[in-house]
């Protein structure tokens, strides 16, 4: 039922391949350095390519095929590719390919290294290279996305100002058109030009842009929305929609949309395949479903025996045998059972499926609600956006835009019944409009009773939002966002907790207290967008993998999630504010008190840096801390038993239960009696 399943790279499978050629301009100008000490643009290009190659190699997917070509070389060993050198032939990358590029980047004298490779410079024809790329694309199966990325520092290689008249430009234009294709149904073709240096001249208005030859071939060439590496990434990862659906507005009014995931958790690198250390043999898994009884029998047996190596072998054989001969290998063949209301109900696969099957694929508009009624933070679907799809229904874009414009202006959301595929879970969703222009929002006629807005000018809010957009333009898309509204079972009511807060915390914060905090907050308020923080785990995995594969730490391993107070200048920034907080809330006494207290949990109150080296097991801990740290299994059964009897009102008879049962009994008791705890 997991809706993210179809988006995962692994699942895209062989049917969804992406082919990208990096074509690097190899003319002499690319090897020159404009400023002393700066690297040549050829080297920058190679680095951009290398980074992307490394990134692709460190992902879980094998669907990205890459080739690298350098133009303008004397020799060419490749048929059909004139005066250009194929550094990396189109294919799935590996250690060898990455190292080819890496060695070149590492050369002190790239120019002579290139000369050795290709025999020196010679004029080449870009259209010839592009035609070669097109032929390679055509020979590849299952193409979903074909892309050529040309890296150059030459604003106009076509030799004349009226480049459009030149036959070279015309040839190139034709070749580009072929690559982009005219919409062969599922293949997306792209041609992009990365013009170096990145901070070079960029025409602003359309008139000037039109005068640029590259603009004629790639309208995004001067885009400032993101930097070169981000653009490359965009071009390589073709976005496939999560689903194509029909939106039913009412009788006779339907249009088509595609659903895209905006965010998807990048999972840790796959290392499930294991090998024996001595012989590097592949370790495989035999698995199947056996009755619980059979499994217990086989596992208990081995507890009683001494485990010599023969026994291990025996056990392995025994297990394999059991799995191979008796197990049900296919999950489909299993039945499902549940005990309810005194009956054991057994369902076969068909019944089980039929039981919760709904066939209402698509988006069915139920009605409109004011936007502020939709609590987007409690969405139970990871964020998605829908975009109109004119390919299947003409006019989809028009009605989509009209709905978007009016819903945005009136701050209305569409509530819909939503099912992405016939066997996926049916949900109620809100389609929440988003447009960049805040000024289009119409003021409400009736008085705004939203207290949040009361003393703030709406303009200020808008300004904040507008500013936020500048920081995150890369991830800001206009359109309807899809918010999965929770069902009753998916939502918890906070009311009782709020009431409890109200009764326990009777004194309201004074203005002074709040102002103290405000000063602190203001000092640490900074812009934010997701690119600020990399996943340290992935970074570390990639760094290690890269080091192993290329001999160099191409990716730096670092913890990007450091708290601000570990960064000296940030800590300094709020020095006085922290003092003020300590003073206002009389925290000095409490801090001292805590330090003096040697008992439970005292150690963890020291600053973070100090506590890390402490071996946690030796600490005096409370039982609750043990549970949270997952250390319950470290206790002996007798210890657990006496704790359960002493603290948890457990009957003596639990002696007969297993260790795990006692642990869960203790945990359950603690959950139910939130005030109970003891030291261990």
Contact status: 556 vs other proteins (CB under 8 A):
no
Query: Which of 585, 634, 655, 678: binder of other proteins (CB under 8 A)?
Result: 585
DSSP assigned state of 488: G
Least distance (Å) between residue 170 CB and other proteins: 24
Quickly count: other Cβ atoms within 10 Å of residue 442's Cβ: 11
Choice between 154 and 246, CB closer to other proteins: 246
Choice between 448 and 638, CB closer to other proteins: 448
Residues of span 656-675 touching other proteins by CB under 8 A? 671, 673-674
Residues of span 402-441 touching other proteins by CB under 8 A? 402-407, 410, 412, 415, 417, 423-426, 428, 430, 432, 434-437
Q: What distance in Å separates the CA atoms of residue 146 and residue 135, rounded to the nearest whole number? A: 11
Q: What is the CA radius of gyration of the chain?
A: 32
Stretch that binds other proteins, among 121-129, 191-199, 329-337, 636-644 (CB under 8 A): 329-337
> Do residues 462 and 439 touch, judged by C-beta distance below 8 A?
yes
Specify the residue for token string 């690198």: 269
Paired tokens of 596: 């003096």
Q: Is 291 exposed, middle or buried (0-12, 13-18, 19+ CB in 10 A)?
A: exposed
Choice between 200 and 268, CB closer to other proteins: 268
Stretch that binds other proteins, among 24-32, 106-114, 131-139, 601-609 (CB under 8 A): 601-609
Query: Which of 86, 88, 257, 381: binder of other proteins (CB under 8 A)?
Result: 381
Query: Which of 51, 166, 177, 397: binder of other proteins (CB under 8 A)?
Result: 397
Least distance (Å) between residue 112 CB and other proteins: 29
Query: Which of 112, 123, 174, 324: binder of other proteins (CB under 8 A)?
Result: 324
Which three-class secondary structure state does DSSP give residue 108? coil
Stretch that binds other proteins, among 72-80, 116-124, 163-171, 474-482 (CB under 8 A): 474-482
Contact status: 297 vs other proteins (CB under 8 A):
no
Q: Are strands 64-71 and 17-24 parallel, antiparallel or unpaired?
A: parallel
The DSSP element (H or E) to which 20 belongs, if any, is strand 17-24
Q: How far is CA 228 from CA 17, 38, 90, 469, in A?
A: 23, 18, 22, 20
Choice between 47 and 295, CB closer to other proteins: 295
Residues linked to residue 84 through DSSP beta bridges, in sequence order: 71
Q: What distance in Å separates the CA atoms of residue 626 and residue 639, rounded to the nearest whole number? A: 13
DSSP assigned state of 22: E
Choice between 114 and 136, CB closer to other proteins: 136
Contact status: 89 vs other proteins (CB under 8 A):
no
Stretch that binds other proteins, among 32-40, 150-158, 543-551, 637-645 (CB under 8 A): 543-551
Contact status: 368 vs other proteins (CB under 8 A):
yes
Least distance (Å) between residue 438 CB and other proteins: 10
Q: What distance in Å separates the CA atoms of residue 533 and residue 211, rounded to the nearest whole number? A: 39
> Do residues 516 and 503 touch, judged by C-beta distance below 8 A?
no
Q: How far is CA 166 from CA 127, 173, 200, 322, in A?
A: 13, 11, 25, 75
Choice between 115 and 570, CB closer to other proteins: 570
Q: What distance in Å separates the CA atoms of residue 22 and residue 194, rounded to the nearest whole number? A: 10
Q: What distance in Å separates the CA atoms of residue 522 and residue 580, rounded to the nearest whole number? A: 14
Contact status: 636 vs other proteins (CB under 8 A):
no
Query: Which of 182, 300, 310, 446: binder of other proteins (CB under 8 A)?
Result: 310
Least distance (Å) between residue 194 CB and other proteins: 15
Least distance (Å) between residue 147 CB and other proteins: 12
Contact status: 398 vs other proteins (CB under 8 A):
yes
Contact status: 568 vs other proteins (CB under 8 A):
no
First-to-last alpha carbon distance for the chain, in angstroms, is: 42
Least distance (Å) between residue 201 CB and other proteins: 20
What is the CA angle 390-395-398, rounded to 5? Answer: 105
Contact status: 328 vs other proteins (CB under 8 A):
yes
Choice between 138 and 358, CB closer to other proteins: 358
Stretch that binds other proteins, among 20-28, 78-86, 234-242, 656-664 (CB under 8 A): 234-242
Contact status: 633 vs other proteins (CB under 8 A):
no
> Do residues 242 and 261 touch, judged by C-beta distance below 8 A?
yes
Least distance (Å) between residue 441 CB and other proteins: 14
Residues of span 480-539 touching other proteins by CB under 8 A? 481, 483-492, 494-495, 497-502, 504-505, 507, 509, 513-518, 520-522, 524-538
Contact status: 256 vs other proteins (CB under 8 A):
yes
Query: Which of 137, 379, 420, 663: binder of other proteins (CB under 8 A)?
Result: 379
Residues of span 91-150 touching other proteins by CB under 8 A? 92-98, 141-142
- Residue 111 phi, psi (nearest 5): -60, -50
Residues of span 3-42 touching other proteins by CB under 8 A? 6, 11-16
Contact status: 360 vs other proteins (CB under 8 A):
yes
143: closest CA among 173, 93, 184, 177? 184
Contact status: 295 vs other proteins (CB under 8 A):
yes
Least distance (Å) between residue 37 CB and other proteins: 30
Q: b or e along 17-29 (b: 16 or more beta carbons within 10 Å of the residue's beta carbon)? A: bbbbbbbbbbbeb
Which three-class secondary structure state does DSSP give residue 672? helix
Choice between 35 and 586, CB closer to other proteins: 586
Contact status: 473 vs other proteins (CB under 8 A):
no
Look at the alpha carbons of 242, 248, 252, 253 in this order and tell me if their dihedral is positive or negative: negative
Least distance (Å) between residue 146 CB and other proteins: 16
Q: What distance in Å separates the CA atoms of residue 54 and residue 295, rounded to the nearest whole number? A: 44
Least distance (Å) between residue 303 CB and other proteins: 14
Contact status: 1 vs other proteins (CB under 8 A):
yes
Choice between 63 and 131, CB closer to other proteins: 63
Specify the residue for token string 């990639």: 542
Specify the residue for token string 């200048």: 569
203: closest CA among 193, 194, 192, 215? 215
> Do residues 264 and 382 touch, judged by C-beta distance below 8 A?
yes
Query: Which of 37, 159, 443, 563: binder of other proteins (CB under 8 A)?
Result: 563
Choice between 108 and 505, CB closer to other proteins: 505
Query: Which of 36, 162, 224, 282: binder of other proteins (CB under 8 A)?
Result: 282
Site string for other proteins, 56-75 (x = CB under 8 A): xxx-x-x-------------
Contact status: 166 vs other proteins (CB under 8 A):
no
Total of chain residues touching other proteins, rule CB under 8 A: 275
- CA torsion angle 196 201 206 209 (round to 10): -50
Tell me how far the alpha carbon of residue 328 is from its chain's centroid.
Answer: 36
> Do residues 495 and 503 touch, judged by C-beta distance below 8 A?
no
């Amino acid at each position: 039922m997991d809706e993210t399943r179809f988006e995962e790279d692994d699942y895209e499978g062989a049917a969804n391949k992406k082919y990208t050629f990096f074509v690097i301009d190899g003319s002499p100008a690319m090897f020159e350095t404009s400023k002393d000490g700066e690297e040549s643009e050829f080297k920058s290009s190679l680095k951009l390519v290398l980074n992307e190659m490394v990134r692709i190699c460190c992902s879980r997917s094998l669907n990205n095929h890459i080739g690298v070509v350098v133009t303008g070389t004397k020799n060419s060993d490749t048929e059909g590719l004139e005066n250009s050198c194929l550094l990396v032939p189109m294919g799935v990358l590996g250690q060898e390919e990455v190292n080819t590029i890496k060695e070149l980047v590492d050369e002190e004298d790239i120019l002579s290294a290139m000369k050795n490779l290709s025999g020196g410079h010679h004029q080449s024809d870009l259209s010839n290279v592009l035609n070669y790329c097109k032929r390679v694309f055509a020979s590849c199966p299952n193409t979903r996305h074909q892309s050529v990325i040309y890296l150059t520092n030459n604003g106009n290689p076509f030799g004349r100002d009226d480049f459009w008249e030149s036959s070279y430009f015309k040839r190139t234009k034709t070749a580009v058109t072929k690559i982009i294709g005219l919409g062969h149904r599922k293949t997306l073709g792209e041609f992009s030009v990365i013009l170096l240096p990145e901070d070079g001249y960029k025409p602003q208005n359309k008139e000037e842009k039109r005068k640029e030859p590259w603009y004629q071939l790639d309208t995004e060439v001067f885009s400032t929305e993101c930097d070169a590496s981000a653009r490359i990434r965009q071009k390589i990862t073709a976005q496939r929609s999560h689903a194509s659906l029909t939106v039913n507005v009412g009788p006779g009014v339907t249009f088509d949309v595609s659903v895209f995931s905006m965010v998807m958790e990048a999972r840790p690198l796959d290392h499930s395949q294991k090998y024996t250390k001595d012989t590097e043999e592949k370790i495989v898994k035999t698995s199947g479903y056996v009755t619980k009884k059979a499994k217990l029998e086989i596992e208990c047996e081995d507890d009683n025996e001494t485990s010599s190596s023969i026994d291990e072998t025996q056990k392995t054989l025994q297990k394999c045998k059991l799995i191979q001969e008796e197990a049900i290998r296919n999950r489909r063949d299993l039945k499902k059972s549940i005990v309810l209301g005194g009956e054991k109900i057994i369902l076969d696969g068909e019944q089980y499926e039929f039981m919760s099957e709904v066939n209402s694929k698509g988006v069915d508009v139920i009605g409109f609600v004011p936007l502020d009624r939709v609590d987007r933070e409690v969405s139970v679907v990871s964020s998605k956006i829908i975009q109109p799809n004119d390919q299947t229904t003409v006019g989809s874009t028009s009605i989509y835009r009209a709905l978007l414009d009016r819903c945005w202006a009136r701050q209305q959301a569409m509530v819909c019944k939503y099912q992405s595929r016939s066997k996926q879970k049916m949900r109620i969703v809100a389609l929440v409009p988003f447009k960049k222009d805040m000024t289009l929002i119409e003021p409400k006629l009736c008085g705004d009773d939203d207290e949040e807005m009361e003393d703030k000018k709406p303009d200020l809010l808008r300004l904040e939002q507008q500013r936020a957009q500048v920081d995150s333009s890369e991830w800001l898309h206009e359109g309807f966002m899809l918010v999965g509204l929770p069902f009753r079972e998916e939502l918890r009511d906070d009311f009782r907790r709020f009431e409890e807060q109200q009764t326990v915390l009777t004194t309201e914060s004074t203005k002074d207290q709040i102002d103290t905090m405000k000063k602190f907050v203001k000092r640490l308020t900074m812009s934010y967008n997701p690119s600020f923080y990399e996943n340290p785990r992935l970074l570390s995995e990639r760094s290690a993998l890269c080091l192993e594969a290329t001999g160099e730490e191409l990716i730096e391993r670092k913890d990007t999630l450091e708290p601000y107070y570990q960064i000296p200048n940030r800590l300094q920034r709020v020095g006085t504010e922290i003092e003020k907080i300590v003073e206002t809330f009389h925290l000095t006494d409490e801090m001292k008190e805590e330090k003096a207290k040697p008992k439970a949990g005292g150690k963890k109150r020291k600053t973070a840096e100090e506590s890390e080296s402490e071996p946690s097991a030796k600490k005096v801990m409370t039982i609750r801390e043990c549970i949270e740290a997952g250390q319950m299994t470290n206790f002996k059964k007798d210890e657990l038993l006496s704790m359960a009897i002493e603290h948890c009102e457990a009957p003596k008879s639990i002696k007969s239960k297993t260790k795990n049962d006692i642990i869960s009994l203790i945990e359950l008791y603690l959950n139910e009696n939130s005030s109970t705890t003891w030291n261990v």
